[in-house]
Amino acid sequence: MEKPNFYDFNLSSLSDFLVEGGHKKFRAQQLFRWVYGLRVTDPESMTNLSKEFRKDIPLLFDFILPKKTSELVSEDTTRKYLFDMGGGLSVETVLIPSKGRYTLCVSSEVGCNLACKFCFTGKQKLLKRLSVSEIVGQYLQVRDSLPEDIRISNIVFMGMGEPLDNCQAVFPAIDIFHDSWGINLSRKKITVSTSGLVDRIPKIINSGTRLAVSLNGSNDQVRSGIMPINKKWNIEKLMGACQEHYRQSKDRITFEYVLLSGVTDSLEHAKELHRITRSVPSKINIIPFNEHPQSDYKRPSESQIDRFQKEMMRLGSHVLRRKTMGRDIYAACGQLNSLAKDHPGKMSVL
Ligand code: SF4
């Protein structure tokens, strides 16, 4: 009979599973500490467990992580990993260095059905929603491959896929990332980014993580033109959900706004963007478009980017320009796509 994968359990489902099998509940915490805290999966090395329980472990679980099949390093030291998710499918994960900190951008799906027009992932139809182990596995495999002095301090769900389209795996994975017996990251160091699945935004409040909204359009006409999800949940509904999120969480939201030349980058757009976001305590990240082979959109000129940012600042918005990282290896925002044949540059097969 096929055994469950240990990495698919959060602490509470592991406790239930063990108790149902006649084991003590506290074994779940002990196992979490060994596996996530100490990265030990050999039962014989788990010295504080009884001999009988140690013998049972290989009968209870498999310990399977997705395989890292390649790794690219950018000129700016951003790293992009390709993970094999079985059945010929794969996802990309990006490790971004910034001022001595490391942020891991994880994927939640192979491809994405939301089909945002500017996004390389959106060109790949949804082929698979990842499991808990496939999400947590991206973190563990990267962490295990890094030198000891490099610590991943933040996790962002901004890789391939819409995280709120895969809640059944994303939220248990967040439990493992946060659990003090597990990976032990503060909830505020974890950010979930959504394109605007309004009815699922309350789940982010419950998880205690940070919310980022991929906004990208300053009015419904523009936003519906580049993000089909806006036809279902327009800007008014999205902002209503954001206001409610802030009311309950008291946590400032990040709005991401991609600057597409001639589409979203005029001073009129800046004024509209200020108007629609000012009702929510927020920060706006402007992201100059990162071009990729399957898009006709263009990145605005530096002077236009500068004008846009200055106009937002003049109006009183808290606006930052997102530093572009990893563009030479197609690891920058909106550039992920696991069809390796579309990738430029050197794919270093491990
Ligand atoms: S931006 Fe996000 S939601 Fe939109 S297609 Fe890309 S991965 Fe999907």
The residue out of 60, 85, 105 marking a domain boundary is: 60
CA 263 to chain centre: 26
Please, which pLDDT band fits residue 32 given cuts at 50, 70 and 90? Answer: very high
- The C-alpha atoms of residue 102 and residue 99 are separated, in whole angstroms, by 8
Please, which pLDDT band fits residue 346 given cuts at 50, 70 and 90? Answer: very low
The span from the first CA to the last CA of the chain, in angstroms, equals 32
Q: What is the CATH number of the domain that holds 231?
A: 3.20.20.70
- The C-alpha atoms of residue 44 and residue 199 are separated, in whole angstroms, by 46
Q: Does 101 fall in a domain?
A: yes
Average pLDDT of the residues of the chain: 92
108 CA to centre of ligand 1 in angstroms? 11
Atom of ligand 1 nearest to the CA of 161: 7
| Residues 32 and 121 both lie in one domain | no
Task: Give the angle 338-216-313 at the CA atoms, nearest 5°.
Answer: 130
pTM for the whole thing? 0.93
| Residues 30 and 87 both lie in one domain | no
Report the residue among 91, 93, 94, 112 best suited for mutation to probe ligand 1: largest number of ligand atoms under 8 A from its CB. 112
283 CA to centre of ligand 1 in angstroms? 20
pLDDT exceeds 60 at position 223: yes
SS3 at position 284: strand
Which residues are near ligand 1 (CB < 6 Å)?
A: 112, 114-116, 119, 121-122, 160-162, 195, 214
118 CA to centre of ligand 1 in angstroms? 9
Q: What is the CATH number of the domain that holds 55?
A: 1.10.150.530
| Residues 173 and 217 both lie in one domain | yes
| Residues 116 and 31 both lie in one domain | no
Domain encompassing residue 297:
67-349
pLDDT exceeds 80 at position 334: no
30 CA to centre of ligand 1 in angstroms? 38
| Residues 36 and 73 both lie in one domain | no
The tens digit of pLDDT for each residue in 117-145 reads 988 887 888 999 999 999 999 999 999 99
Residues 6+ apart with CB under 8 A from 340: 70, 82, 90, 347
pLDDT value for 244: 96
pLDDT value for 126: 94
| Residues 112 and 248 both lie in one domain | yes
Q: By CB neighbour count within 10 A (0-12 exposed, 13-18 middle, 19+ buried), where does 110 fall?
A: buried
Q: Does 116 fall in a domain?
A: yes
pLDDT exceeds 60 at position 228: yes
Task: Respond yes or no: is residue 109 known to be catalytic.
Answer: no
Q: What is the DSSP string of 60-89?
A: H-B---PEEEEEEE-TTS-EEEEEE-STT-
pLDDT value for 333: 66
The tens digit of pLDDT for each residue in 172-194 reads 999 999 999 999 999 999 999 99
Atom of ligand 1 nearest to the CA of 120: 6
pLDDT exceeds 60 at position 156: yes
Atom of ligand 1 nearest to the CA of 122: 5
Q: Does 1 fall in a domain?
A: no
| Residues 220 and 115 both lie in one domain | yes
Catalytic residue among 71, 92, 134, 311: 92
| Residues 165 and 272 both lie in one domain | yes
| Residues 32 and 101 both lie in one domain | no
pLDDT exceeds 60 at position 343: no
| Residues 142 and 19 both lie in one domain | no
Task: Give the angle 198-318-268 at the CA atoms, nearest 5°.
Answer: 80
The tokens for 6 are 């240990």
| Residues 114 and 214 both lie in one domain | yes
The tokens for 123 are 């060109």
Please, which pLDDT band fits residue 344 given cuts at 50, 70 and 90? Answer: very low
Task: Respond yes or no: is residue 92 known to be catalytic.
Answer: yes
The tens digit of pLDDT for each residue in 241-276 reads 999 999 999 999 999 999 999 999 999 999 999 999
Q: What's the structural domain count of the chain?
A: 2
Q: Does 306 fall in a domain?
A: yes
- Between the alpha carbon of residue 134 and those of residues 5, 83, 90, the distances in Å are 10, 9, 10
Q: Which stretches within 160-301 are classed as H helix?
A: 167-178, 201-207, 220-226, 235-249, 267-277
| Residues 158 and 42 both lie in one domain | no
The tens digit of pLDDT for each residue in 44-98 reads 999 999 999 999 999 999 999 999 999 999 988 899 999 999 999 999 999 999 8
CA proximity to 128, closest of 172, 173, 165: 165
